[in-house]
Structure 1
Amino acid sequence: MQKKVSDLEYGESGIVREILASQHDLSCLGIRRNKHLKMITRQPIKGPVVVIVDEMEVAMGIEIAAQVVVEIA
């Protein structure tokens, strides 16, 4: 099953399968295709999303998180 990062539940994880946003911007954050990530927190009312990628916490806006598709592990 595939989900957008913005739709992941707390503690849910998956493999990045598709990036619809600027790949350069996300690559600088360590988010690339075939990377494993895990949802840590999502702030209410369109706040940032925090995920773990390669043992590093990464925060991104909800708009960007909605453009990253992961396959649930």
Structure 2
Amino acid sequence: MKRLSELEYGESGLVREIRASQHELNCLGIRMKKQVKMVTRQPIKGPVVVVVDDMEVAMGLEIAEGVVIETDGHGEAGV
């Protein structure tokens, strides 16, 4: 299990726990048991961009830290 903000580029998994604003995340399409894939994580507290339901979604780092993901072990090593 990892926080959404800790996923590596290309890594994906299922949303297992939400510790942030559920309303805000629901508006972004992020809900329990949804598959998400990391696209990019900007440096120095920048936004996190993930793919959910074939749509790219950007969110602040604080919100991404409140989403717990069960990873499937796939990602690009060394990136």
Where on the TM-score scale, by shorter chain, does this alignment land: which range? over 0.9
Q: Which residue of 2 aligns with 1:8?
A: 7
The reply to whether residue 59 of structure 1 matches residue 58 of structure 2 is yes
SS of corresponding position for 2:36: strand
Partner letter of residue 51 of structure 1?
A: V
Q: Which stretches in structure 2 are left out of the alignment for 5+ residues?
A: 73-79
- TM-score norm. by structure 2 comes to 0.90
The reply to whether residue 27 of structure 1 matches residue 26 of structure 2 is yes
Identity of aligned residues (%): 71
Q: Which residue of 2 aligns with 1:36?
A: 35
RMSD after superposition: 0.4
Partner letter of residue 37 of structure 2?
A: K
Distance in 2, Cα, partners of 1:49 & 1:39:
8
Distance in 1, Cα, partners of 2:30 & 2:52:
7
Alpha-carbon distance, 1:7 to partner: 0.5
Answer with 1 or 2: which has the greater Rg. 2
Q: Which stretches in structure 1 are left out of the alignment for 5+ residues?
A: none
Give the 4+ runs in structure 1 shifted more than 6 A: none
The structure where strand makes up a greater share of residues is 1
- TM-score norm. by structure 1 comes to 0.97
Partner letter of residue 12 of structure 1?
A: E
Distance in 1, Cα, partners of 2:42 & 2:22:
24
